[in-house]
Structure formats: structure tokens, C-alpha cells
Amino acid sequence: MSGKKQFWTLRYIIINATYFAVYSGIHAYASVFLLEKGFSNTLIGITLALANILSVIFQPFVAGLIDKQGKLTNRNVSMASTALLLIGSVLLLLIKSGIVVIFIIFALIYMVQMVYQPIITAMYFEYEAAGCHIYYGLARGLGSAGFAVTSVFTGMAIGKFGVSILMILDIIFLSIALIVLFFFKKPAVKTEAAPSGEVAHNNLFNFIKTYPDFMLFVLGAVCFFFAHNAINDYMIQIITPLGGTEAQMGTAVFIAALLELPTMALIDKIMKKISVKNLLLISGTAFLIKTLLMLVAPNMVVVYISQAMQMFAYAVFSPAGAYFVNQTMARLDQVKGQAYINCSITLGGVFSSLVCGRLLDIKGPHFMLVISLAVTAIGLVIAFVALKLWRRKSSGCGNIEGKRS
């Protein structure tokens, strides 16, 4: 690995690792934090659903502004998002009570972080095109490792110091991220003009008309992330009947996140053997198996096995989805494409938050997982149809079959 590539990769690793370390505090431990603040399961569901709805609205909007290639760049948006998350974390640390205020602030920082996520991915492709060579799979995998280490540490720390430790850790990681982003400046190079006749499809309906099979796949992915978000957001409620604790929850999250690293680090080599289309179908199948194992788990051992399926589920979906966008979309639509892939995660979060919080209060975690399994199965069928249609329409005109653009 050349010195320059090491330098760019190292800084991109720190950006990913700090982002997902904060993601652990805001997302994986959302229920733990909000339950401690007096929220019911239903109110937690409403909070997370509102945050996800807002992020679904703002992700394509912000991406469209960035795609216009003006002053609002991937880096500038990343810095602004990090600053907003930092301010919100400080406020949540200082505010000790007041459900309405906590509801508003938590929903906003949850939303901002989801809007920020596809921008990190788009920034990689932007910098790569400018000659700042980065090992994306390694950086993204180490981002998951940052999530894993933080999650297991946080699970133990909450037992000793209380939920305030979540915001303290977020403040530390966000401060580091802001400093690194400030110095993560792309070299001054002449921006290559978009190909003649290429236009940005910033209107949702125009985008759907241009990429109908892609958007059908996004619908299928929404179903994958219904279960994914249900398991992540309500893990403590799922494992408590099995005798699980916050510390064991931290271990379960650690296992899932840590096992993402080898898959993501090797994704370039994997894509030389398996097409991106097939990788996306593999990931959908793994989401289904993961949910099934969680449903039938009689103890924490099977919960841990279910979490290990993450190496074939999200660990495959995240980089494969990113390359899928980069290899199939016009340059002026690529940031939006990354945003819509991320919208599948957030929309899954919307529906799981609205439905699963209520199901937990009425029927309990087992019934919630039954519904999640059914939704995931439907999503796998939709994704299969979408990718088959896409291949038939685009045969012979793309490099999606395992090649990197």
C-alpha cells in the first residue's frame, strides 16, 4: 500500500469509525437511553419513526443539492452534520428531565445522523475519482469494528455509570470526527464536466421513471431493514425474556458489528467472484435467516448465532449497495442513489418503529419477530424480481457483474 493511499485511507477510516461509534450510542442504545428517561415502548417507536420519516425526506433533498456540484459539498455537509450531532449530544447530557424536550432533540440528532450516512459513502467515490485512492472496504469494515468495540464497552459502562455515558462518548467521538473532517480536504483538481446531455434527476418521480428497477429493489430492501431495525432498536426487549442483560446486549451487538469487518475488507476480492446483483440477493437471504434464528432463539447462544449472520447480511448489503449505485447511475444522480439506498434503511426504521413498538406493548417480542420474518420474506421476493428485471433490461451495457468502475 503506497504512503499516499495509506494516508487517505487512514483518515477515511477515522471518519467511518467515529461515525459508527456514535451510531452505536444514538441507534443501538436508543431504547436503553429513552427507557431510562421515562419513555414507553410506544413512545420510543414514535420517536424513532418520526426521526426516520424526517431523514427519508431530507436525504434525497440534501443529496440533490450536493449533486448540483455547488458549494454544498460532501465534506461540508459532513462537517455541518457532525457539528449538529455534537451540539445535540451536549444538550442531551445536560438535560436531565423533560420528555418533550428530549423527544425533540433525540429525534433530530437521530435524523441528522441518518442523513449524514450516505454522504460518507458518496465522499469516498468523489475523492477516489479525484485521485485520493482509498481502500473503501477496509475503511467501511473498520467503521463497523468501531461500532462493535464501542457497543460492547458501552454495554458494560452503562451498568457502572448510567446512560449519561452514552452522550459523553458521543461528544468525544464527534469532536475527533470534526477535527479529521476539517483537514480531510480533496486536492484542488479541475472538475470533469458531466457528459453532454446528462441531467440530474432531482425530482423523485423523474428519478423513479429513470431507474424503476432500482427503486423496486429499494422497496425490497425496506423490508429487509424492517426486521434489521426491529432487532437493533428493541434488542433489550427481545433478550430480556431469555435472561439477557445490557452487558449481553453489548456482546450481541459487538458480535454482529465485528463480523462485518472481514466481509467488508474483502469486498473488492469478493466482487471479482460474485456479481453485485447476486451479493445483494445473498444479503437478503441472510437477513431472513438472521430474523428466523432470533425468532426461535431459546437462549443467548442462539441470539449470538443470529447476530453472526450479520457478516452475510448488512456486511454484504452496505458495500454492495454502494457499488451498485456507482456502477449503474449517471454521475449527477449518484449521491441521490446512495441516499435512496440509505433510505431503505430509514424507511425500514420508520415502519418497524411505528409497528414494532406497539406490537411489543400489546403482543410481546415473539409476535413482533414473527411479523418481521414475514416482512423480510416479502422483501426478498421483491428484490429478486427487481434485480432480474434490471439484468434483462441492462444486459450488455454495464459493468455490474463483479467489476469495479
pLDDT tens for 13-58 read 999 999 989 988 888 788 888 988 888 888 888 888 888 788 888 8
Instruction: Provide the grid cell at 340.
Output: 435512496
Which SS3 state, helix, strand or coil, does residue 133 take? coil
Taking the C-alpha atoms of residue 310 and residue 283, their distance in angstroms, rounded to an integer, is 9
From first CA to last CA, the distance across the chain in angstroms is 20
pLDDT-derived band at 117, boundaries 50, 70, 90: confident
Which SS3 state, helix, strand or coil, does residue 203 take? coil
pLDDT tens for 237-296 read 899 899 888 788 878 888 887 888 899 889 888 988 999 999 999 999 999 999 999 999
Query: Is the pLDDT at 402 greater than 50, yes or no?
Result: no
Determine, yes or no, domain membership for 194.
no
For residues 165 and 21, is the Cβ–Cβ distance under 8 A?
no
Mean pLDDT of 348-356: 81
Determine, yes or no, domain membership for 193.
no
Determine, yes or no, domain membership for 105.
yes
Q: What is the pLDDT of residue 339?
A: 85
Taking the C-alpha atoms of residue 202 and residue 204, their distance in angstroms, rounded to an integer, is 6
Determine, yes or no, domain membership for 380.
yes
Q: What is the pLDDT of residue 6?
A: 65
Q: What is the pLDDT of residue 229?
A: 86
pLDDT tens for 159-190 read 888 888 999 999 999 999 999 999 998 876 65
pLDDT above 70 coverage of the chain, percent: 90
Determine, yes or no, domain membership for 399.
no
Mean pLDDT of 292-301: 94
Q: What is the pLDDT of residue 405?
A: 31
Determine, yes or no, domain membership for 195.
no
Determine, yes or no, domain membership for 401.
no
Query: Is the pLDDT at 349 greater than 90, yes or no?
Result: no
Determine, yes or no, domain membership for 237.
yes
DSSP secondary structure code for residue 274 in this structure: S
Give the residue numbers spanning the domain of 42: 3-185+201-394
Mean pLDDT computed over every residue of the chain: 85
For residues 171 and 113, is the Cβ–Cβ distance under 8 A?
no
Q: What is the pLDDT of residue 225?
A: 92
The CA–CA distances, whole Å, from 214 to 220, 376, 388 equal 10, 18, 11
Burial (CB < 10 A; 0-12, 13-18, 19+), residue 319, is buried
Domain of residue 310, CATH code = 1.20.1250.20
Q: How many structural domains does the chain have?
A: 1
Q: What is the pLDDT of residue 401?
A: 39
Mean pLDDT of 394-405: 38
What is the 3-state secondary structure of 147-164? HHHHHHHHHHHHHHHCCH
Residue type, 132: C
pTM: 0.76
Mean pLDDT of 336-348: 85
pLDDT tens for 66-76 read 766 667 788 88
